[in-house]
Every structure is written in C-alpha cells, then in structure tokens.
Structure 1
C-alpha cells in the first residue's frame, strides 16, 4: 500500500489493508515516518500481517521542517509536498527490489504517476485505488482527458456543466466556488512539474486495475460508465465503512481528516440529491456563501416536511446498505479473487 501524504488518504488505505489482512494476506503499508506514527494502532490480531514501512522523507525548499502531510501545510504549498513525494521513488524502488517475499501487487494513490512503469519493470502488478466515488471519477473524465490537462475545460465555469461523456441525465457538476482555487492560477498546480490532472490520468492509464470505494447498489450506472471510459477493469471494494480507527486519532488529526473529506463534497452533494437521499443547502454559486435561514429551511424540508418523506425513506435504506457488514465483506472477497486471478507472474 502506497497512499498519498494526507490523512484523508492514509486512513482509507489502512482500512483496506485491514480488510485484506482479515482475509489472511500480508500487507506492507508504506509511507513516511511521521505519517506512520499518526496512524491508529493496528489491532493485535492483524499486526502480524500488516507491516509499516517508513521511507525517509527529504527536506525540500519551501516545505516547512517536518512537514510530511497535507495537514502540515497550507493548500498553496501542496505542490512542494508533491516534489518531496516524487523523491520517494528511489527508496520505494529499493524496497520493492529487495522485499522478501516479492510483492504480488502495489496498490497506489493518484499522486504517484511514476509508479506503474516502475512496477512493470519489476514485474509487479499495480492497482490504482481512488478515494473518490464513481460519480466523481466519471465527472473528471477518461485518462486521455486528464493527461491533456482536463482537455477543453480551462475555466471554473467549464466545470459547472455535466460533461459530454456522461450519457444519462445527471446533476453531478461543480459550482464555481468549489473549483475556483484549482483553476485561478494561484494554486501553483505545476510547481512539481506534473499537474494533478496529469498525475491522475497517468495513474489510471498505467494501472492494471482501478479500485473504487463504491458499491453497485448505489452507483451502478457510474461504475459501468467508468469501465467504458477507462477500458479496463473497475473494481468496487465497497464503502469501507469506518471502524474505531477515527476515534483513535488525535483530535487535531481527526479534524484535518474531516476537513479534507468535506473539501471534496460538492459533487457528492449533487449525487446524493440526485439519488433523492439528501437535500443540498442553497449557496451562492460564486462565493459559496449561505444564510442561516437557508440552513433552517433545508433542515425543515428534509426532516419534517411531507415532501421530505421519500428522502427520509431512501436515507434509511442507504444507511442499511452502507453499514451492511456481509455486503461489504462480499466486495472484499470479490476484490481478493480478482487480485489473485490477475497478478503478474513472478
């Protein structure tokens, strides 16, 4: 497991590691020393199967001392963190070359676009694990669009419409205020030499499998669309519902995890509203502002009104779906079967 350096990525990768370890598989969880120290403790029954592998983290100009995670820096410095992250290619290569037994798979995150060629050279299978849901990934587009730097989408307004490659009716699109900081030129999105869309596109394109934290019961049409867009297997690993790990984090770390998660909720809000399991609070499209009255009115509609009966019923059904242990275990079993079936011969 090789996640991006953010607690909102490390935790789900660890959750997937635990699911695989529960099936008897040996996991090497690779990150930097400080990030590994921040992780919740692995349960004693799984600790023999999950080994934490620290890679030395370099000091990079413009990156504060001991900054090893996105929680340690402002958003504007995120590309300097990616410069440091890219330098982990050499120690990761050394680990993969010398690990005994040799790994069957490397499961990696969006930022390590350089990993698929490395894995291919070492004859190790690789799978890209997306922490975005299927609808978000489909909205972002196929690998060739991402590799082209989002293609024709250059301004914030370009991201407020449903893309042409979505063949069914959908309301999943951004509001202007949700993407402004990514396209206004102030984010330094190319300081590392590789933009985030290109990293994502290369990760998708170079992987043998694409793993999605989603379930067919909720996002069937989006998962089927992703298979068409990527022209390769897209495997659902289930929702990976959180266990006690979130409560074991320090309070500050928990807040950063929550904030990283909330920062990505624009498309999710539209998906939930489109599925009639939630209601989005009205905001100003340009600056994202909202009023206390709009919050109160939306809550009353969702929780008390007769018109909200369907939403409440659907939400109760989804709660049972997302928290269903046997169903989520079934996704992991299918995933493991796929890994065993498709691993590169040693």
Structure 2
C-alpha cells in the first residue's frame, strides 16, 4: 500500500473506560492524519465518551452494537464501572456474545486493519478468515505483558509459577534486574480471574494468550524512552512485531466541566505544589476500612487535598462506603471531596497540585508525570500493582507501605508517605525525577513520531492478513 493512501481501521476495546479512553485517544491521533476509524462499543459507553473534536469527527464512526442481555448482569450495565467487581465476569460473557454482530460489521465493510483488546480472544480467527490483518492494542505497558510471559503458556496454563508466592519475584525469562513483580495480596485478589469458573467465562490469561497468539502484530501504549528493555523482551517472547504507540499524553480540550470553576477557585487559593490530588479511576472502589484509613491519613498529613471519592460501583453495588464521622467538618477549607467525576487533566495541570495519590492506573501515571506531579502509589486491581512497582523503580513515586499478606495500610503510613513525596527533603528525588520525565512524556512531537511510525507500518503491511 502506498504511504499516501488512507486506511480504514476498526477498533474494538474492552468494556472498561480505562480501555475505551486510550483506544479513543489513539483513534483521534490516527484520524488527525486523515485515516478513517470505526470505533465499536455499546450504545451507553459511546454516549459517555468525550465529544469528538469537530475537525476529526467525520473520520471517526462511533459504531453502537447493543450488549446482549445476560443472566446476572444488571440492567444498563455496559462497562466495568457499572457493576461490582464480582459481576465483571458476566460482563465478559456478554462481551463474547458481540462476536456475531462484530463479524457482520466486518463482513459488510472494507477494512484494512483491526485493533482489538485482550478480552476479544475470538476476533483474531474471524479476522484471519476475512483476510483482515489484526493487531492486539495493549493499553498496558510492556512490563505487564513481559511479566506474564509467552502466550502459549497463558493458553495452556503451563506456567512454572504454580503457587501465589511464585509471582512475587522476577520471572525467569526476564534477563535484566527489575523489581516488577506482584505483592502476595495482589495475586490472591487476582487469582479468580486467572481461572475459568462455573459460568461460561474463560480466564483472563486464556483471553490474552489467544488474542496475542492470533494477532499479526502487537501495538503497545509505551515508548522506548520509558521501557526499552521490556519492549525488546516482549518482541522476543511473542515472536512477532511489537510497535510502541507512544504514551498518549493528555490534551485538555477546554470543554465545559460542571465542577471546574468551583475546583479552580479553591485551587487558586492554595500554595504552589501543596495539594495532594486523590483519585482511583472509574473501576477501583475502596472498601470501608480502606476509605477510613485513607481519610484519616489525609487528615493527619496536614496538607490540603482534593479527593474524587467513588462511593459505589454501579447502582447494584450493595456496599456503599462513607467518610469517617466528622471528617469533612474537621478538614473543611483544607480539603475538598467530590463523590463524582471531576476534570482530572485540568486538576493535574494546576500549579497548586504537587502530587497524585492514586491506584497506579497507567493513564493516570502518564497524565500526572506529563504535568510534573510526583506519585503516591496505592494499587488495588489488575495491572496496578505491577505498574506501581515499575513507577517506584524509576523513582517517579513511592508505594504506601502495606501488609504484604492482606494489603492492609494505616492512616500513619498514608500521612507519612504523602509528606515524604510532597514536602520532605528525603522525597526530593521523586519530585526531581518526575520533572525530568515530564519533558519526555509530554512531548507531542515525540508522540507524533510514534503515531506516524505506527501508521506507516499499517500502510506497508495492509495485506498481512490475506
């Protein structure tokens, strides 16, 4: 295919906003180069996506495919943020039932490439039958993929790591020194996802292993500046091309936000770099004990804070959490708590914000570092623990100390870690490292290079699947 010809790329992300948004971000960057994107998801998820810029909206077709009704999946639940953690497996079963309508869409359209997510393990064979090349687009960094190893091992379950403790050390196929490994409490929480259960659901490792095995290339939200050794390792163990798409730094589109004026007025009154912003994303919800310790830790720190607090994960979540009695009165003026969505990019870009206390989600890492904010790490789910270890290894942030067996943390450890990272002389290394990396992650010229390189590869290998 000539380099000047335009592509039609289908994107099919998993039903989580931590996946939908990075897919949409890459879609926008590709559309800016004049290529057509068909972005497939469910109606409610598409309705909740940010509005597309006018100049590229005609090039991005938001394809709405209704999610089939599935037993045990609450009504109107179309994303992981709509359901408690133990209901996500039913969302995966419903997602698998999108195979026929997605196949129908591909058969009815001229498609040059498909970019799919880890969960759609059935899409690679469909693409192959239709003669359309398929890429696994990983919103996880290469370190996560490298830690879990060869896809054949994920599929067959032949991992030499057979007990939870085996996952707490560096894998044997990693030739370089690294602290990237799981804490015991994290593997115990994740263990059910690694195994098939009594429902029709298959394990996450089976999904991702088959997705990788059946794709033509792997595209990763990463960069050679951030993790060159992991990118090289993944290409070696996957035995197929691995292409970094860049880190996808955030661009604030200046759209109106309901709470921004109030938040901005409060931030303007705080000292430069003094505020700790606390947020745990759309999927992560802390339990009552964790919220209580975190709240009292923020109070003990004595620092101003802004907290986006998720009290419930979907309307069917029976465990609604609350702040400790008297907490808001005691911290009034020094702290703000919003039990709703807040404009994170605008907040992180404000001069009075000095750091982010968060779940270690990859998108939030990128957004915080691009604005020079040091990181206080408190991971809970999925890939978060491994990302936190990588971030701490690079001295961009510090993990809050926890009990390695059950993951408990205390208000004292919260307060001490926040003060160390934001204020103390001992934490200057984290503040300096973030400023050093800020120029790399926030460099849009560098990001543009990665997108151009990816598009060039897709153009030159359009017929790969045929």
TM-score, with normalisation over the residues of structure 2? 0.69
* 8 A contact 1:79–1:190 mirrored in 2: no
* 8 A contact 2:193–2:203 mirrored in 1: no
Query: Are 1:334 and 2:360 an aligned pair?
Result: no
What residue is the counterpart of 1:266 in the other structure? 385
Q: Secondary structure of 1:107's partner? A: strand
Structure 2: distance between partners of 1:245 and 1:176:
40
Residues 179 and 42 of structure 1, relative CA distance in 2, 3 Å threshold: same
What is the number of residues matched between the two proteins? 343
What residue is the counterpart of 1:256 in the other structure? 282
Structure 2: distance between partners of 1:248 and 1:116:
40
Q: Which has the higher strand share?
A: 2
Residues 342 and 85 of structure 1, relative CA distance in 2, 3 Å threshold: same
Residue by residue, what CA displacement relative to the aligned partner does 1:296-318 show, whole Å, maximum 9, x if unpaired? Answer: 33334334444444333221111
CA RMSD across the alignment: 2.5
Residues 208 and 36 of structure 1, relative CA distance in 2, 3 Å threshold: same
Residue by residue, what CA displacement relative to the aligned partner does 1:32-67 show, whole Å, maximum 9, x if unpaired? Answer: 111111111111111110001111221111111222
Query: Are 1:290 and 2:409 an aligned pair?
Result: yes
Query: Are 1:36 and 2:46 an aligned pair?
Result: yes
Query: Are 1:217 and 2:336 an aligned pair?
Result: no
Q: Which runs of 5+ in 1 are unaligned?
A: none
Query: Are 1:301 and 2:309 an aligned pair?
Result: no
Which shifted more, 223-232 or 281-290? 281-290
- Within the candidate set 180, 188, 193, 1:180 is matched to 188
Structure 2: distance between partners of 1:157 and 1:258:
24
Query: Are 1:111 and 2:109 an aligned pair?
Result: no
Structure 2: distance between partners of 1:248 and 1:84:
34
Q: Secondary structure of 2:208's partner? A: helix
Q: Secondary structure of 1:279's partner? A: strand
Structure 1: distance between partners of 2:222 and 2:119:
20
Residues 25 and 221 of structure 1, relative CA distance in 2, 3 Å threshold: same
Structure 2: distance between partners of 1:207 and 1:248:
40
The within-5 A match list for 1:142-291 is 142-149=150-157, 151-183=159-191, 189=197, 191-244=199-252, 255-256=281-282, 261=361, 263=381, 264-291=383-410
Deviation at 1:77, TM superposition (A): 1.6
Q: Which runs of 5+ in 2 are unaligned?
A: 1-10, 260-279, 286-358, 362-378
Structure 2: distance between partners of 1:246 and 1:134:
31
Residues 3 and 315 of structure 1, relative CA distance in 2, 3 Å threshold: same
* 8 A contact 1:281–1:295 mirrored in 2: yes
Q: Secondary structure of 1:216's partner? A: coil
What residue is the counterpart of 1:84 in the other structure? 94
* 8 A contact 1:39–1:249 mirrored in 2: no
Which shifted more, 208-217 or 304-313? 304-313
Residues 245 and 54 of structure 1, relative CA distance in 2, 3 Å threshold: farther
